[in-house]
Amino acid sequence: MAQAFDEKPFREVRVPSWLYDTVNYCYGIQANYDEAKKRGAQMGEIAFGGTDYFLYKSKFVPLIPTLKPDDKAKEVAEFRKRGFRVIGAFPPCLQKRIYDRHPEFRGIRTNTTKIPNESHRGEGGWLCQVGPWGDMMIEIMLEILDKYDVDGFGFDGIHHRDVCYCASCRTRFRKDTGKEIPNVDMHNPEFRRYLLWYDREMERFIERIQTTIKSRKPDCALVTWTTNAGRFGHFKEIPRSMPARMNLLFDAPCQEFWLDETNRGNTVVPAFANAYIWATTNHRMAFSEPYLFSHGNPYGPDSFPHHEVRRRALLALTHGAQASIATGWGPHLIPAAWRILSDIDARSQWITRKKPEPWAALVMSDNTRVFYGRESDKVEERYLSNVFGAFRVGLEEHLPITIINDWNINDADLAPYKVLILANTSCLNAGQIAAIEKFVERGGGLVASVDASLSDETGTPQHNFGLARVFGVNHRGVPATGDGQKEELDINFLKGVDSDYWEKRKNVFRLKRQSHAIFDHPKILEYLGKSDVTFKGQGVAVQSRKGAKTIAWMSGKKDGSKRYPAVVVNKHGKGRVVYFAAGMDSAYFLYPFPYQRLFLSQAIRWSAQETPRIAVEAPMCVHSSFFRQTKNGERLVVHLYNDLNTTANHAHPVDDVPLREENIPIHDIQVSFRDYEISRIHLEPEGLELTPKRERGTWTVTVPKLDIHSMVVAELAP
């Protein structure tokens, strides 16, 4: 999908073949080369530069005095002797020697022309990578490539920060737009446009890196840390420091995978984080390193169970990322690090060269997060909670839900799916809206909530939903209100949204449902009977259009309160649509009731018009993910992950962190495959043959025991 300020069609980078087969990325191989080799390590990182000196003899930066010129060559030789791939690293934006010598390279983060001087700091100050420092960076990379023939490069966060007023950025922005860079203000449309421009500048810099290093060594890879691909702390980074789309220019982005309290470690967010980083690569290659600390301040490996090391790494594998492992978390954790390298090696042949097996697509919109969310302290309730809640529904109901991105909302990328989920995806442009309309007209299902399609791609709200005709509803320009709130709000949708708008939608409602297939579920009747039910969460006032049907209403809990449509169903072409004016998805993360999961899962199934071809019957604590692998034949791989916590979440919920010490196995999980030609089904890495029962085109096997992680592998007949 084209973005603002694109100069040419955007293309993802070509990932080298060797990287696709790399599953064991080990930080700290140098601690014990031979043990790393024994445990299956394939790739490691070597630092070529620090924030003060460099660690090799360079023509750009002095060598650190404590090293000899050939020390780095010896380190590279130790890697090569054992067949390890080498990823070279140096700081991309903090380098004191460069900072001192080149004031013109310095970034300026306030709206001034005065060049800052932070030379007193050990690492100097911020260097603007999209200016002339970026050109020198590329020269340094070529120097390292020529001297040491590395296999790739990695950086500790290569990104643009949120704004730069250096002379280089000012000149280019003025040339491209005829304007000056505005002050930082997410509520100002001009600043939001600037951020899109800055995103493109950073992407072009990464493209220049890739073109340059690959012209010298075609299979050289950029395997680097990313700051916008899953970690909750990065989700709250507004303005963003890089666009999610930039991950497509990395051969493999790497994520610091944190489960501390600041990153919602005891929620569904860690699972989502690993599914999302893989999604930002168009489901190609991504690494996720589980950090082995418990709490976030101070973070360290105090009292860290070895069992939890395995939990975190295997969770990453379950949701599509490859788990990279560091050995430097303290002597007591080194045995656990070696153990998980062996665990990954035992699974290696079933976790490479894979794609999601498509059924439902859930959009995680980076533009909506930034331009609709707008404020870091409110983005969770405004937008992220919608996506997290919808993801939680899919996880607990064992539905094959694949995360996709803004740029995947096009005819070709939507075609394989039966249903599309727009969890408050507010920011959509005309091309995306046209693609969604066509998808539904051709028979695709659509489940949408709250302000989906209400804003353009920069977050500027419109008078009505862009998909109003598809939803079967019109936006009435005001939020729905429960008891104790003003009923009418003066919202000017052309000028922008007031910062309190979302806060005023958090209300308590009485929800009354009508008869419909979505509510025809035995558990709904068990949990609710035929009574009204309480709903607390987002609500938007809408009016149904001709042909659409309101199947649930919401109102204040007092008699006589104003009534609003809460759930509306519609038919558009051959497709079915369910629109939730009541934010059930957000509520299922922030203020959950079981009925919300049932309403949403039933809506997804009803609109899809076709049940998933792979089904899992297991407790809700079991994660399941569904992949198709093309390696030495073609197979389906269903990952099963036991997320049961034997401490039963006894701690204070806000600050609780998963530090699991033991495991309770889960028995007799059933996995079914419908309408596939299958030659064999086995359980890995256990190496256990599973005997299927076949009935009317469906193959069903029983997994006798799930400890932490296993894979049901169905070999497809040639």
Residues 307 and 338 in one domain: yes
pLDDT score of 493: 41
Residues 372 and 318 in one domain: no
Q: Provide the residue type at 637 as one letter.
A: V
Contacts of 101 (CB under 8 A, 6+ apart): none
For residue 554, being part of any structural domain is answered with: yes
For residue 575, being part of any structural domain is answered with: yes
d(C-alpha 188, C-alpha 206), whole Å:
28
Please report the sign of the dihedral spanned by the C-alpha atoms of residue 643, residue 644, residue 647, residue 653: positive
Question: Which parts of 104-247 are beta strand (E)?
Answer: 152-154, 221-225
Residues 570 and 489 in one domain: yes
Residues 596 and 671 in one domain: no
d(C-alpha 148, C-alpha 76), whole Å:
7
d(C-alpha 208, C-alpha 146), whole Å:
18
Residues 368 and 492 in one domain: yes
Size (the chain), residues: 718
Q: Provide the residue type at 689 as one letter.
A: E
User: Average pLDDT of each block of 10 consecutive residues along the chain (718 residues)?
Assistant: 91 97 97 96 97 95 92 97 97 95 96 94 94 97 98 95 95 97 96 97 98 98 93 94 97 95 94 98 97 86 94 98 95 95 97 97 98 95 97 98 97 98 97 98 98 95 96 88 50 48 67 96 95 93 96 90 94 98 97 97 98 98 97 92 93 89 97 97 98 95 98 96
> Which of 310, 336, 352 finishes a domain?
352
Specify the DSSP element, H or E, that contains 377. none
Tokens of 350: 């079933």
Q: Give Cα separations from 146 to 72, 149, 214, 585, 705 (angstroms).
A: 14, 6, 13, 52, 52
- Could you tell me where the DSSP H helices lie in 547-680? 584-590, 594-608
Q: Residue 293 sits in which domain range?
A: 17-352
User: Closest Cα partner for 507 from 534, 476, 538?
Assistant: 538
Tokens of 51: 């924030």
d(C-alpha 369, C-alpha 94), whole Å:
28
Residue 72, SS3?
Answer: helix
pLDDT score of 498: 55
Q: How many domains does the chain have?
A: 3
**CATH number (domain holding residue 74):** 3.20.20.80
pLDDT score of 316: 98
d(C-alpha 82, C-alpha 34), whole Å:
8
Question: Which parts of 386-494 are beta strand (E)?
Answer: 401-404, 419-422, 445-449, 473-479
**CATH number (domain holding residue 654):** 2.60.40.1180
For residue 11, being part of any structural domain is answered with: no
Tokens of 148: 């040491």
For residue 8, being part of any structural domain is answered with: no
> Which of 588, 608, 628 finishes a domain?
608
Chain centroid to Cα 526, Å, comes to: 35
Question: Which parts of 247-353 are beta strand (E)?
Answer: 252-257, 287-290, 322-323, 325-326
Residues 76 and 56 in one domain: yes
Residues 541 and 492 in one domain: yes
Q: Quote the longest CA-to-CA distance of the chain.
A: 83
For residue 523, being part of any structural domain is answered with: yes
Residues 383 and 272 in one domain: no
pLDDT score of 487: 42
For residue 189, say if its preceding peptide bond is cis, omega within 30 degrees of 0: no
Residues 471 and 571 in one domain: yes
Contacts of 328 (CB under 8 A, 6+ apart): 27, 28, 31
pLDDT score of 556: 87
d(C-alpha 678, C-alpha 637), whole Å:
12
Burial class (CB in 10 A: 0-12, 13-18, 19+), 700: middle
Starting at the edge strand that comes first in sequence, how are the strands of the sheet with 622-630 ordered? Answer: 354-356, 622-630, 634-642, 709-716, 678-684, 688-689
Phi, psi (degrees; rounded to nearest 5) at 270: -60, -40
Q: Provide the residue type at 437 as one letter.
A: E
Residues 287 and 380 in one domain: no
For residue 1, being part of any structural domain is answered with: no
d(C-alpha 60, C-alpha 151), whole Å:
21
Residues 378 and 480 in one domain: yes
pTM of the model: 0.96
Phi, psi (degrees; rounded to nearest 5) at 193: -65, -40
For residue 7, being part of any structural domain is answered with: no
**CATH number (domain holding residue 474):** 3.40.50.880
Residue 558, SS3?
Answer: coil
d(C-alpha 718, C-alpha 715), whole Å:
9
What single DSSP character describes residue 106? B
For residue 654, being part of any structural domain is answered with: yes
User: Closest Cα partner for 79 from 149, 145, 18?
Assistant: 149
> Which of 322, 352, 382 finishes a domain?
352
Q: Provide the residue type at 268 as one letter.
A: V
CB 637 within 8 A of CB 709: no
Residues 258 and 379 in one domain: no
